[in-house]
Amino acid sequence: MLLLMLPLALPLMAQEDKQNEEFDWNPVIDAIIEIESRGNERARNGIYVGVLQISPVLVRECNNILKSRGDSRRFTLNDRLSREKSKEMFVVIMSRFNPENDIDKAARIWKMGIHYTIKGSQQFVNRVRSIMKRNQKEKEKNANAD
């Protein structure tokens, strides 16, 4: 039965990819980077590494998602030390678990995983939103100064 359903799921997975490719995650990612590592690509906290404090489990999940889509790309544990590769992993995770591109949900997933709680993640969401707002104001201020 699962094999019969797989062809029906492929267009949905392609749609997820398209939604996330068009969405600009950079303001969210930049805010999370500020919270997680203050931009330090070599930041370490136990098993969490890099600007986005990525665990080995998240790297493995990204690779499983890519494999399920027939994508030949794979991430390594060392990719966590790359700002760009870390951002790519964020987008892969969001494309699977947050295809609606919900900013609050993205922060919640990043803080607690896919089984997050509102109560347990609300402070993190508030911090992400606050930093995003501050960064947007700075961006507008700099644009007006030019």
Q: How many Cβ atoms sit within 10 Å of the Cβ of residue 132?
A: 18
Per-residue pLDDT of the chain (146 residues; tens, 9 = 90+): 333 333 434 444 444 444 456 899 999 999 999 999 999 999 999 999 999 999 999 999 999 999 999 999 999 999 999 999 999 999 999 999 999 999 999 999 999 999 999 999 999 999 999 999 999 999 998 988 86
Is 1.10.530.10 the CATH classification of the domain at 12-145?
yes
For position 144, what pLDDT does the model report? Answer: 87
Give me the count of residues in the chain.
146
For position 91, what pLDDT does the model report? Answer: 98
Instruction: Spell out the domain ranges in the chain.
Output: 12-145
Query: Between 83-97 and 2-22, two packed helices, what is the crossing angle to 10 degrees?
Result: 130
CB 107, CB 95: distance < 8 Å: no
pTM of the predicted model as reported, rounded to 2 decimal places: 0.84
